[in-house]
Amino acid sequence: MFGDYSISDLGAILAMQGFAGLILFSVYVLMALGLAIIFGQMGVINMAHGEFMILGAYVTWMTSNAVQHVAPWLFPGYFFIAMILAFIASGALGMLVEWALIRHLYKRPLDTLLATWGLSLILQQAYRSIFGAREVGVELPEWMMGSWQATDSIQIPINGMFVMALTILITIAVAYVLFWSSWGKQVRAVVQNRVMAGAVGINTEKVDRYTFGLGCGIAGIAGSAFTMIGSTGPTAGQLYIVDTFLVVVFGGAASLFGTIASAFSISQTQSTLEFFLSGSMAKVITLLTIVAILMVRPQGLFALKVRK
Amino acid sequence: MSDETKPGLKSPLRRKLLMGMAALPAVSMLGRPAFADVPATSAVNTTGLAVTDSEVTVGILHSVTGTMAISETGSVEAEKLAIEQINAAGGVLGRKIKFIQEDGASDWPTFAEKAKKLLVNDKCAAVMGCWTSASRKAVLPVFEQYNGMLYYPTFYEGLEQSKNVIYTGQEATQQIIAGLDWVNKTKGAKSFYLLGSDYIWPRTSNKIARKHIENHLQGCKVVGEEYFPLGSTQFNSVINKIKLTKPDVIYAIIVGGSNVAFYKQLKAAGIDLSKQTLLTISVTEDEIDGIGGENIAGAYACMKYFQSLDNPNNKAFVPAFKKMWGEKTVIGDVTQAAYLGPWLWKLTVEKAQSFDIDKIAAASPGVEFKGAPEGYVRIHENHHLWSKTRVGRAKADGQYELIYETADLVEPDPFPKGYQ
């Protein structure tokens, strides 16, 4: 396949392909972070994760429309406002859901799967009734579209770099919150031993609610960011849910580092295979590899020792 | 109306006079032919369909919930508009159309179940419905078993023909071949990169495209052919491959949410569609709504209808559609094809002078609809439509600008020889 091409052509493609892999990596991390927090820290299988993401996307769409009508001069920077609003909206909905639904099911983890799946259907139909069945087009500021011309033959998508920067920022923020803040210590204490954490005076219910809210809020930001690369429609969340679970489960639940490592290995495998084989085959081989590894190592790449 | 039960309408004159006198004041108000014969129900309905002296029931069977609601909403809207217009113009054989709408819910077994309900319980005289090939394949045995009539609106892969289905969209060869010839002739395109979502329609269509490129276009070749699972959102790798192989034409048959991701990423990767020729058969105005006009401007689409078509029929159709469904709605190829369904059925019933399914199936070939927004269409022996094929260029405002249309109607050929 490479016989007819010059060395510089191949070099450029290799560089761009490397970036494609990194972009895919950041997309995976971004969409899996929220789920990793909820699944990893709380053991809740949140099937409605995709719908929380799409809520963020719809918030972005509404912000874009509102800004265009009310304050067009703000348009180039509206995306940052939209992401904050998306975080708030998805986080608030997440806390509401935790309060109304999830907290009654903590002792029955498999039931949360069913309940959140039902929730995802309800949310999908709600989006359809409110925003219409058709996809909406989120208009982006001009500077976010197009590509950065690194050399004559190397073009790097700007929105891809934006997602990368955002992912790094959010990962650092999440790591800080979980590992260095006092609230993070409480979360980890609850994960390790709920009864004991309660006994030393941690309000475990409150910790649960905020953890769930944080996870959903991050899903909202991810959804907002993905309006740059994907579609916004009532069922668009379903496009992400499988990959998201794959990343979290493969990485080992309860391990933030595992999620990142797993996102990296899956995205690199996927994008390299996609380049040398075809789209569908790449997916098949990636999935088979993951299944094989999980058969040998069911706890995922990195597992945290937790006292149950 | 006791004489209506007599078959054969022995004394039309007396009835006409009486009815005409009674309806005289209404004629000028409604502007419709109140003199039209209303043939006796027993004469036009010998198989027990839901036809009364004043009403006839048809079914609408699309997904208004689930994944496919995105696409099928437009079809439902178009069919309701057509039914309303037909009723305003006097109905079918003097009978108003009443419709029963069922939701296929994007689930193929549900489609089959609802089809059975519409045929067996509701005795619908015709059903306008289905969108995906999978849903059509699911209902086909039902329509054949219970002898129903389905008007199917979507452009599709062909390889099917049934007495019980009228295909109002284009089959694959109609849509593909004219477009490839055009891009070869006017753009001098020699190399093609074929892309598609991974299911039957894109695969069959690309197979036809490949055969045509390799066997019928001089010196042309396919430099790549690739499929992506439905719902894929990452296209950066294939875009790099496109950059490496530098095809004259990207031939894209990507559907659903993937479409949005593909065109956004294409633009972000610096592929300028005003320089790189891209030809698609899967992006209608409906899809552009979600993609964003600015992301796809410059791409070419090959199908039979664009909202921007400049003909008197379309100039009446577009405002009527917007009046009923809102200023912001757009009309894509399939929506227009769905609009043809009720009209073609009405014309066929009037030609056959009967609602009986067998008579309609037999009378369908040759039925022509001069009021079609796309221009003129005629039903072929094989129950598909003769129609023109057009190439449009996407503009940033989300509309297509007509670039080319075939001089004549293109014959539907669902089982193309040499292309399978």
Choose among B229, B238, B292: nearest Cβ to A283. Answer: B229
**Average pLDDT, rounded, for chain A:** 85
Model pLDDT, residue A308: 45
**Across the interface, do B70 and A135 touch by the CB < 8 Å criterion?**
yes
| Rounded-to-integer distance, Cα B187 and Cα B250, Å | 13
**Across the interface, do B269 and A147 touch by the CB < 8 Å criterion?**
yes
Give all domains of chain B, ordered by start, each with its CATH number: 38-170+311-386 (3.40.50.2300), 172-303+389-405 (3.40.50.2300)
Interval B39-64 mean pLDDT: 92
**Across the interface, do B270 and A149 touch by the CB < 8 Å criterion?**
yes
3-class DSSP state of B417: coil
Choose among B66, B261, B292: nearest Cβ to A139. Answer: B292
Q: How far is C-alpha B339 from the chain's CA centre? A: 7
- Provide the token pair at A225: 């960011």
**With 90 as the cut, is the pLDDT of residue B50 above it?**
yes
Model pLDDT, residue B240: 87
Q: How far is C-alpha A46 from the chain's CA centre? A: 12
Residue of B nearest to A139 (CA): B292
**Across the interface, do B290 and A232 touch by the CB < 8 Å criterion?**
yes
Point out the least confidently predicted range of B35-39, B128-132, B156-160, B327-331: B35-39
Model pLDDT, residue A136: 80
With a CB cutoff of 8 Å and minimum separation 6, the contacts of A167 are A26, A27, A29, A30
Q: How many CA atoms lie within 13 A of B48 on its CB side?
A: 6
- B70 compared with B213, residue with greater pLDDT: B213
**With 90 as the cut, is the pLDDT of residue B420 above it?**
no
B216: closest CA of chain A, how far (Å): 25
B169: closest CA of chain A, how far (Å): 21
**Across the interface, do B227 and A155 touch by the CB < 8 Å criterion?**
no
Domain residue spans in chain A? 22-134+151-296
Model pLDDT, residue A193: 82
A274: closest CA of chain B, how far (Å): 6
Q: Look at the block and give the residue holding tokens 């960011």.
A: A225
**DSSP-derived pairing of the beta strands B390-394 and B300-303:** antiparallel
**DSSP-derived pairing of the beta strands B191-197 and B221-228:** parallel
- A51 compared with A71, residue with greater pLDDT: A51
**Across the interface, do B233 and A229 touch by the CB < 8 Å criterion?**
yes
Residue of B nearest to A135 (CA): B290
B299: closest CA of chain A, how far (Å): 16
Question: Can you give the length of chain B in residues?
Answer: 420
Give B24-34 pLDDT, tens digit per residue: 444 444 444 44
Give B224-238 pLDDT, tens digit per residue: 999 988 778 888 888
Q: Which of B333, B330, B360 is nearest to B347 (CA)?
A: B360
**Across the interface, do A147 and B64 touch by the CB < 8 Å criterion?**
no
Model pLDDT, residue A160: 85
Model pLDDT, residue A2: 54
Q: Give contacts of B237 with chain A, Cβ < 8 Å.
A: 17, 20, 271, 274-275, 279, 282
**With 90 as the cut, is the pLDDT of residue A194 above it?**
no
**Across the interface, do B270 and A9 touch by the CB < 8 Å criterion?**
no
Q: Give contacts of B256 with chain A, Cβ < 8 Å.
A: 231
Number of A/B CB contacts below 8 angstroms equals 146
Model pLDDT, residue A68: 86
Interval B312-324 mean pLDDT: 95
B79: closest CA of chain A, how far (Å): 17
DSSP notation for B122-165: S--S-EEE--SHHHHHHHHHHHHHTT--EEE-S-B------TTE
Say if residue A249 is exposed, middle or buried (CB neighbours under 10 Å; 0-12, 13-18, 19+): buried
Q: How far is C-alpha B318 from the chain's CA centre? A: 16
Give B99-111 pLDDT, tens digit per residue: 999 999 888 899 9
Residue of A nearest to B199 (CA): A280
Interval A287-293 mean pLDDT: 90
Question: Can you give the length of chain A in residues?
Answer: 308
CA-CA-CA-CA torsion sign (A6, A7, A11, A14): positive
Q: Give contacts of A133 with chain B, Cβ < 8 Å.
A: 64, 69-70, 73
Q: Which of B338, B326, B342 is nearest to B76 (CA)?
A: B338
- Provide the token pair at B226: 């690739």
Give B350-373 pLDDT, tens digit per residue: 999 999 999 999 999 999 999 999
Model pLDDT, residue A4: 63
**Across the interface, do B289 and A5 touch by the CB < 8 Å criterion?**
no
Residue of A nearest to B73 (CA): A133
**Across the interface, do A137 and B290 touch by the CB < 8 Å criterion?**
yes
- A5 compared with A138, residue with greater pLDDT: A138
Q: Look at the block and give the residue holding tokens 């269509």.
A: B205
Residue B137: other Cβ atoms inside 10 A? 15
Residue of B nearest to A133 (CA): B70
Give A203-253 pLDDT, tens digit per residue: 888 888 999 999 999 999 999 988 888 778 888 888 788 888 888 888 876
Residue A202: other Cβ atoms inside 10 A? 17
What whole-number percentage of chain B has pLDDT above 70?
91
Say if residue B403 is exposed, middle or buried (CB neighbours under 10 Å; 0-12, 13-18, 19+): middle
Q: Look at the block and give the residue holding tokens 């600015």.
A: B294
- Beta pairing partners, B249: B192, B277
| Rounded-to-integer distance, Cα A100 and Cα A249, Å | 26
Long-range CB pairs of A298-302 (<8 Å, 24+ gap) are A299/A252, A300/A249, A300/A250, A300/A251, A300/A252, A300/A253, A300/A255, A300/A258, A300/A262, A301/A250, A301/A251, A301/A252, A301/A255, A301/A258, A301/A261, A301/A262, A301/A265, A302/A251, A302/A252, A302/A255, A302/A257, A302/A258, A302/A261
Q: How far is C-alpha B12 from the chain's CA centre? A: 39
**With 90 as the cut, is the pLDDT of residue A140 above it?**
no
Q: Of B236, B266, B296, which to mutate for an interface test with A (greatest number of A Cβ within 10 Å)?
A: B236
**Across the interface, do B290 and A239 touch by the CB < 8 Å criterion?**
no
Q: Of A14, A154, A231, which to mutate for an interface test with B (greatest number of B Cβ within 10 Å)?
A: A231
Residue of B nearest to A12 (CA): B244
**DSSP-derived pairing of the beta strands B150-152 and B127-129:** parallel
Q: Give contacts of A159 with chain B, Cβ < 8 Å.
A: 264, 268
Say if residue B353 is exposed, middle or buried (CB neighbours under 10 Å; 0-12, 13-18, 19+): middle
| Rounded-to-integer distance, Cα B65 and Cα B69, Å | 5
Kindly list the distances between the CA atom of residue B402 and the CA atoms of A68, B188, B247, B275, B405, in Å, as whole numbers in the listed order.
30, 19, 24, 18, 8
A4: closest CA of chain B, how far (Å): 9
pLDDT band at B20 (very low <50, low <70, confident <90, very high): very low
Choose among B228, B233, B259: nearest Cβ to A280. Answer: B228
Model pLDDT, residue B98: 95
With a CB cutoff of 8 Å and minimum separation 6, the contacts of B145 are none
Percent composition of chain B: helix, strand, coil (DSSP 3-state, to 5): 45, 20, 35
- Provide the token pair at B30: 């409604």
- A260 compared with B1, residue with greater pLDDT: A260
B360: closest CA of chain A, how far (Å): 34
**Across the interface, do A134 and B286 touch by the CB < 8 Å criterion?**
yes
DSSP notation for chain A: --TTS-HHHHHHHHHHHHHHHHHHHHHHHHHHHHHIIIIIIH----TTHHHHHHHHHHHHHHHHHHHHHH-GGGGGGHHHHHHHHHHHHHHHHHHHHHHHTGGGGTT-HHHHHHHHHHHHHHHHHHHHHHH-SS-BPPP--GGGSSEEESSSS-EEEHHHHHHHHHHHHHHHHHHHHHHTSHHHHHHHHHHH-HHHHHHTT--HHHHHHHHHHHHHHHHHHHHHHHTTTS-BSTTTTHHHHHHHHHHHHHH-TT-HHHHHHHHHHHHHHHHHHHHHS-HHHHHHHHHHHHHHHHHH-TT-SS------
- pTM across the whole model: 0.82
**Across the interface, do A279 and B228 touch by the CB < 8 Å criterion?**
yes
| Rounded-to-integer distance, Cα A47 and Cα A173, Å | 24
Listed in sequence order, the DSSP H helices in B217-332 are 236-245, 257-268, 285-291, 293-296, 312-325
Name the DSSP class of B276: S
Choose among B64, B236, B291: nearest Cβ to A137. Answer: B291
Residue of B nearest to A284 (CA): B229
pLDDT band at B35 (very low <50, low <70, confident <90, very high): very low
Q: Give contacts of A232 with chain B, Cβ < 8 Å.
A: 260, 290
**With 70 as the cut, is the pLDDT of residue A157 above it?**
yes
DSSP notation for B50-91: SB-SSEEEEEEEE-SSSTTHHHHHHHHHHHHHHHHHHHHTT-
Please report which helix (H) or strand (E) contains residue B337, including its range: helix B333-352
Interval B139-152 mean pLDDT: 96
Interval A47-68 mean pLDDT: 91
| Rounded-to-integer distance, Cα B124 and Cα B57, Å | 5
Interval A63-88 mean pLDDT: 88
**Across the interface, do B257 and A136 touch by the CB < 8 Å criterion?**
no
